[in-house]
Amino acid sequence: MSTPLESWVEESARLTKPSKIVWCDGSEAENDRFTEEMLRDGTFAELNQNTYPRCYLHRSNSNDVARTEGLTFICTRDRNAAGPTNNWMAPAEAKERVRPLFDGAMKGRTMYVVPYIMGPAQSPYSKIGVELTDSAYVAANMRIMSRMGKVALDRLGSSSDFVPGLHSLADLNPDRRFILHFPEENLIWSIGSGYGGNALLGKKCFALRIASWMAREQGWMAEHMLILGLEDPSGKVTYMAAAFPSACGKTNLAMMVSALEKEGYRVWTIGDDIAWMHIAADGTLRAINPEAGFFGVAPGTNAKTNPNVISAVHSNTIFTNVAMTPGREPWWEGMDSDAPKGLINWRGEQWTPAMGPAAHPNSRYTVPAAQSTSLSSHWEDPAGVPISALIFGGRRARLAPLVYESHDWQHGVFVGATMASETTAAATGAVGVTRRDPMAMLPFCGYNMADYFAHWLSIGPRLKNAPKIFHVNWFRRSAEGKFLWPGYGENVRALKWMLERIEGRAAATETPIGCVPTPESLSLDGLSIPPATLAELLRVNSSDWAEEEQSVGEFFKQFGDRLPAPLRQEHQALAARLSRAAVASS
């Protein structure tokens, strides 16, 4: 008798017709074999094995360099279950449309059966997925990003409790590219792309879109959040999870070298992208990182922005779409060095500055988490780590202060639901276009976002000592367009303030949007921030916030009656606090 996994593999092979099926065990020997094959067929280029041992470069098809949100669908029987912020197709229609594309898609290719665990191998919170793919590059990435191979098969046994994901590169034609999620049957279909988030199905497709659906049904949370531990001088570590839209430095924050290390404040990494959080028996919120590696954006990464990752990516790392020096080392814009002569760009061509960036702006490194010196010794704790603070953040040139604390869980959910980031046109001081990205989940929530807000609201009352919820903005600018805050390792000063708020030690000023640090309550020793700059960093401008409050109203309209009443109340309460503040100051 076949197991459910064997039956599904057979059925998928009948459809996609590979010439060979390889069951991945995740071993070193297997990885060496895949690497040799990829070097032979050109999927991998070898990097300098003296300075970058076991590092390789993959150049993706130039039409396939980023997640394709427009081709990503949530396929539920009821359209409203997917909600206004997702693309939707009915499951039957989606399958009718896309099954013919899978028919024979793996002809002449190998089908890799990639069993994997999202989460520490021994954790009760971890879940199993199996990806069938015709890309050895995908299998190699999954080996870094998850616990892949025998460990997953052993845990699965003959159970049907796994998330199946069928993936084929097919002909890489964007007109025939679909990333489909069937949350009602825990199924993923992805075709026509070999790029990260579209193709490494454990990451965004399973650990966020499918998992967010599961989490609502099962009473936990699957979030687009980094997890870090802040150690204080006594050695006590306080754990925090934080959500930021892309281009806000999430990986850098998770792996930060603290500017207050001499004072005894150190940051430990648990995860850089995804948090699965459960309510434990004692009423604490406990988080695991479902991933085992970092799939980070390379450009802008250097010894100042992320020294930990720079040393980590010197071995066992897959680089995708970066440039290569004549000495066969990886290179990208915003690395420490100027572009060397003889650079080969991400397309594999001799590069000249007139050609634009040498590394693709979305070029990546895939590196095992275990290679980071910032990794917490608790990162694989089966029970997860207890979360004391949840942080939302965005890139706001004018509006949001450096850090503020919400009044309570419900208000914190409102802060997360209305978070936004501006495009970076602000280089000249011009304010960019604002994109609202609730909890940084807009592209990743597997169901109706209004129901997702309701789920968030339902969690707080079930927690003993619910985490405090904060908002941060590292990107506030002066009237001349200069950043007011130095960022990077200095961000630990805002984390320290949060820690002291959690412990009831730091002072704050009540404002209409929440509690903002008093200037004295921030530890700024060693930084030369003039008092006027500090005042600007912490300022809450009522008229700017009145505009923001209007824009939130517009944003909420799309959810109609499904928007939970407590969020409407929070919106009205904010409006009332802002008008009271305006009257008081006039």
Residues annotated as catalytic are 248
Instruction: Give the one entry of ligand OXD, Mn ion, none that residue 197 binds, where binding means its C-beta sits below a cut-off of 5 to 8 angstroms depending on kind.
Output: ligand OXD
**Torsion sign over Cα 435, 555, 455, 512:** positive
Q: How far is the CB of 250 from Mn ion (least distance, A)?
A: 7
Site for ligand OXD, residues 89 to 108, rule: CB under 6 A? none
Residue placing its CB nearer to ligand OXD in the complex, 64 or 273: 273
Please state the three-class secondary structure of 8-38 as a single string: HHHHHHHHHCCCEEEECCCCHHHHHHHHHHH
| DSSP assignments along 126-146, one per residue | -EEEEEEES-HHHHHHHHHHS
Note whether 197 binds ligand OXD by CB under 6 A: yes
First to last CA, the chain: 79
365: Cβ contacts below 8 Å, ≥ 6 apart? 294, 295, 296, 298, 301, 309, 313, 317, 318, 319, 320, 322, 330
Spatial distance between the Cα atoms of 300 and 279, rounded to a whole number of angstroms: 37
The answer to whether residues 318 and 385 touch, using CB atoms and an 8 Å cutoff, is no
Q: How far is the CB of 179 from Mn ion (least distance, A)?
A: 15
Instruction: Give the one entry of ligand OXD, Mn ion, none that residue 87 binds, where binding means its C-beta sits below a cut-off of 5 to 8 angstroms depending on kind.
Output: none
Helix (H, G, I), strand (E, B) or coil at 514: strand
Instruction: Give the one entry of ligand OXD, Mn ion, none that residue 26 binds, where binding means its C-beta sits below a cut-off of 5 to 8 angstroms depending on kind.
Output: none
Tokens of 377: 């010794």
Q: Quick one: which H or E segment has residue 542?
A: helix 542-557
Phi, psi of 380 (to 5 degrees): -110, 15
* Residue 540 DSSP code: -
Note whether 536 binds ligand OXD by CB under 6 A: no
Residue placing its CB nearer to ligand OXD in the complex, 308 or 325: 308
Instruction: Give the one entry of Mn ion, ligand OXD, none that residue 61 binds, where binding means its C-beta sits below a cut-off of 5 to 8 angstroms depending on kind.
Output: none
Residue placing its CB nearer to ligand OXD in the complex, 204 or 398: 204
Tokens of 274: 């995804």
Residue placing its CB nearer to ligand OXD in the complex, 391 or 499: 391
Note whether 231 binds Mn ion by CB under 5 A: no
Instruction: Give the one entry of ligand OXD, Mn ion, none that residue 122 binds, where binding means its C-beta sits below a cut-off of 5 to 8 angstroms depending on kind.
Output: none
* Residue 375 DSSP code: B
Phi, psi of 583 (to 5 degrees): -65, -45
Residue 275's alpha-carbon distances to 120, 227, 322, in angstroms, are: 12, 7, 28
Stretch that binds Mn ion, among 125-133, 267-275, 379-387, 483-491 (CB under 5 A): 267-275
Please state the three-class secondary structure of 276-345 as a single string: EEEECCCCCEEEECCCCEEEEECCCCCCCCCHHHHHHCCCCCEEECCEECCCCCEECCCCCCCCCCCCEC
Note whether 246 binds ligand OXD by CB under 6 A: yes
* Residue 199 DSSP code: H
What are the residues facing 366 on neighbouring strands?
Answer: 295, 318
Q: How far is the CB of 472 from Mn ion (least distance, A)?
A: 17
Stretch that binds Mn ion, among 271-279, 305-313, 428-436, 560-568 (CB under 5 A): 271-279
Q: Quick one: which H or E segment has residue 544?
A: helix 542-557
Residue placing its CB nearer to ligand OXD in the complex, 9 or 199: 199
* Residue 157 DSSP code: T
Please give the residue whose beta carbon sits closest to Mn ion in the complex: 273
Site for ligand OXD, residues 389 to 448, rule: CB under 6 A? none
Stretch that binds Mn ion, among 166-174, 273-281, 396-404, 547-555 (CB under 5 A): 273-281
How many residues belong to the site for Mn ion (CB under 5 A)? 1
Q: How far is the CB of 49 from ligand OXD (least distance, A)?
A: 28
261: Cβ contacts below 8 Å, ≥ 6 apart? none
Lay out the site mask for ligand OXD across 263-302 (x = CB under 6 A, - = otherwise): ----------x-----------------------------
Q: Quick one: which H or E segment has residue 176?
A: none
Note whether 69 binds ligand OXD by CB under 6 A: no
Residue placing its CB nearer to Mn ion in the complex, 394 or 517: 394
Residue placing its CB nearer to Mn ion in the complex, 200 or 581: 200
Q: How far is the CB of 203 from ligand OXD (least distance, A)?
A: 7
Spatial distance between the Cα atoms of 326 and 350, rounded to a whole number of angstroms: 10
Q: How far is the CB of 236 from ligand OXD (least distance, A)?
A: 30
Q: How far is the CB of 135 from ligand OXD (least distance, A)?
A: 18
Site for ligand OXD, residues 450 to 479, rule: CB under 6 A? none
Residue placing its CB nearer to ligand OXD in the complex, 273 or 329: 273
Note whether 273 binds Mn ion by CB under 5 A: yes
Note whether 247 binds ligand OXD by CB under 6 A: no
Instruction: Give the one entry of Mn ion, ligand OXD, none that residue 181 binds, where binding means its C-beta sits below a cut-off of 5 to 8 angstroms depending on kind.
Output: none
Q: How far is the CB of 258 from Mn ion (least distance, A)?
A: 23
Q: How far is the CB of 245 from Mn ion (least distance, A)?
A: 9
Residue placing its CB nearer to ligand OXD in the complex, 9 or 65: 65
Residues engaged in binding Mn ion (CB under 5 A): 273
Residues engaged in binding ligand OXD (CB under 6 A): 67, 197, 246, 273
